[in-house]
Amino acid sequence: MKKRTIWIASAAAGAAIVLSGAAVAFATTGGFAGDDSDPSDEASHLRGEVLDRASAAAIDVVGGGTVAEAEEGDDGQSAYEVEVRLDDGTSVEVRLDSNFAVLGTSTDDGDTGESSD
């Protein structure tokens, strides 16, 4: 009976060490593999009616696609920035003013199409 108790205690201690190491690794790497989101950016993500209106304006200007990200503008010129992923895999960033008018677009290869609207 004593050997069984020692074995169980050793297994429990080993499991605790492994789980502690996994918790430290999870905390220091910022989460699960492939999760590259930055929690500090959460405040700038668009929500509600603003998200709906910005998404509709961006999809309309690029002619379709799926919104991958929508956030407040950080370039000092645009109020909103919406990233639209097209069916061919291209990403287009659409910059909008506070009235959801298009200020310009840029593709993932760096081309810029400025709008005069």
- Residues of the chain with pLDDT > 90, as a percent, come to 45
- Using one digit for the tens of pLDDT, what is the confidence trace for 51-93? 999 999 999 999 999 999 999 988 888 999 999 999 998 999 9
Q: List the chain domain ranges.
A: 1-36, 40-114
Question: DSSP letter string over 62-112?
Answer: HTS-EEEEEEE--SSS-SEEEEEE-TTS-EEEEEE-TTS-EEEEEETTS-E
Between residues 47 and 18, which one has the greater pLDDT?
47
pLDDT bucket at 117, cuts 50 / 70 / 90: very low
Four-point Cα dihedral 92, 98, 102, 105, nearest 10:
-30
CATH topology for 40-114?
SHC Adaptor Protein (3.30.505)
Confidence of residue 32 (pLDDT cuts 50, 70, 90): low
Q: What is the pLDDT of residue 116?
A: 38
